[in-house]
Chains A and B, each alone.
Chain A
Amino acid sequence: MSEQIFELKGNLFTLSVLNLYKNDIQELSKQLDEKISQAPKFFYGAPIVINLKFISDQKVNFAELKQVLVALQLNPVGVCNGSDTQNASAKENMLSVLNYSQDVKPKVAKVANSALNTSIIEKEVYLPAQVIQGTVRSGQQVYAKDRDIIVLGAVSHGAEVIADGNIHIYGALRGRAIAGAKGNIQAQIFCQKLEAELVSIDGNYWISDSLQGDLWGQAAAIQYKDDSLEITALVKG
């Protein structure tokens, strides 16, 4: 005998429930179409359970109901709160009979009238810093997209760290550090030992020659100030 290749298990899923207040399939089709057109992607292929609670005394044409839902790109999977007759009829139409666990009284007026309100709000998303455990070696390049980068080691000669945010290097910076890469003049570079080949903030860069002042080989912070890069001691005073 061959090995069993499947397992049947119970699980919980979130399904959309369609509370049907009136047994009027044509009107439902019209109203649903309107609602869906406001957020077609959200509803596309969504599994739907039809709640029969408010029309449990009526004879429902499940074949037609199913057809209407499918035409709207929904996926009717079952019914709940139906009468025995309704349940039997639903089963004949390949709709599962489900137990409705939550008995919250639906707010009739609100659901019927309110249009689904979707608008897109643009908001800056704060991503946690990317942490590099150890040294970034010669020939390696790391890019922290939309975030800061923290290097728990050095950045070797011939290595490059790039971040759309700030760059924190807990060892020596001997290679290149490019902060605010996507355009952020506020971005800064911090390192324990400044021996860089190049530093750049929002496209403003200095190469090694320009960096070899008092803070060469020292713990330093680099920022953009008064139309130029500025190097200061990492810890002041």
Chain B
Amino acid sequence: MAKVIVVTSGKGGVGKTTSSAAIGTGLAVKGYKTVIVDFDIGLRNLDLIMGCERRVVYDFVNVINGESNLNQALIKDKRVEKLFILPASQTRDKDALTKEGVERVLNELKQEFDFIICDSPAGIEAGAMMALYFADEAIVTTNPEVSSVRDSDRILGILHSKSKRAEEGLDGVKEHLLLTRYNPERVEKGEMLSVEDVQDILAIDLLGVIPESPSVLSASNSGQPVILDIDSDAGKAYQDTIDRLLGEEIDYRFLQVRKKGILKRIFGG
């Protein structure tokens, strides 16, 4: 059965696209036929991070509008065998995505793929709602800071009440917490929330902790998902994340367990 996974956050710039690229690539490396769908219409950058921006001819909106078929729009990755990208349009606005259109394309993708990774735009408006509406699972991407945690909490509330699964009374969307841009030194200094602090507030299962790493920037500058940089800390942390997503129990690396107390300093005023 194909699984639709949305990478979402509420807040922008937390690492959704970086994580979508890494997770999609990681699943394909493991042998699962995977497509990453860019829902960030008008601001597309998934294709940049995947290094396929010059190969975009047709996009998601063209497929929805019937201007091209799905196979014309899907871009096959050159490095990883079973990996495909469905790019967003740069020239349309977010209203171009209709619920019926998105459902039709996702259903078509489900016939062929094992995993469908939906890279959500920021915010809680139409575009983000569209990306999460059909999801079976959600990877709630969060930075260890108060405003990001607050926005993630909000997205969790929306997943609970406004997703298709919620509306149809099915089992809820399976929620995973992915902490990104984690900096143990700053956590220790009390400048960032710890893993425990974030978990205490969001109360969902932890899927991964990705350290703040210069390898992410250099990877995206060279159009290569960071998970393929197998020696980098961020690359390794994403590999662990994939293993956990596939049901393995993997110890956490790149985070020294920090003492509690920051919550009080931040919320306690």
- Which residues of A line the B interface, CB within 8 A? 134-140, 153-154, 156-159, 171-172, 174, 195, 208-209, 212, 216-217
B63 at the interface (CB under 8 A from A): no
Known contacts A209-B269, A217-B268; A139/B203 CB under 8 A: no
Contacts of A157 in B (CB 8 A): 150, 153, 201, 267
B268 touches A137 (CB 8 A): no
The dominant DSSP class at the B interface is helix
State the CA gap A187–B154 with chains docked (Å). Answer: 28
B157 touches A140 (CB 8 A): yes
Contacts of B203 in A (CB 8 A): 135, 153-154, 171
Contacts of A216 in B (CB 8 A): 268
Contacts of B157 in A (CB 8 A): 136-140, 156, 159
Task: Give chain B interface residues in 27-42, CB to chain A under 8 Å.
Answer: none
B90 at the interface (CB under 8 A from A): no
B161 touches A140 (CB 8 A): yes
Number of CB contacts from chain A to chain B under 8 A:
48
The dominant DSSP class at the A interface is loop
B156 at the interface (CB under 8 A from A): yes
Known contacts A135-B203, A137-B160, A171-B203; A212/B268 CB under 8 A: yes
B264 at the interface (CB under 8 A from A): yes
State the CA gap A33–B157 with chains docked (Å). Answer: 57
Contacts of A137 in B (CB 8 A): 153-154, 156-157, 160
Closest 3 CB pairs of A and B: A137-B157, A138-B153, A138-B154
Contacts of B154 in A (CB 8 A): 137-139, 158
Residue among B153, B154, B269 with most chain A CB within 10 A: B153
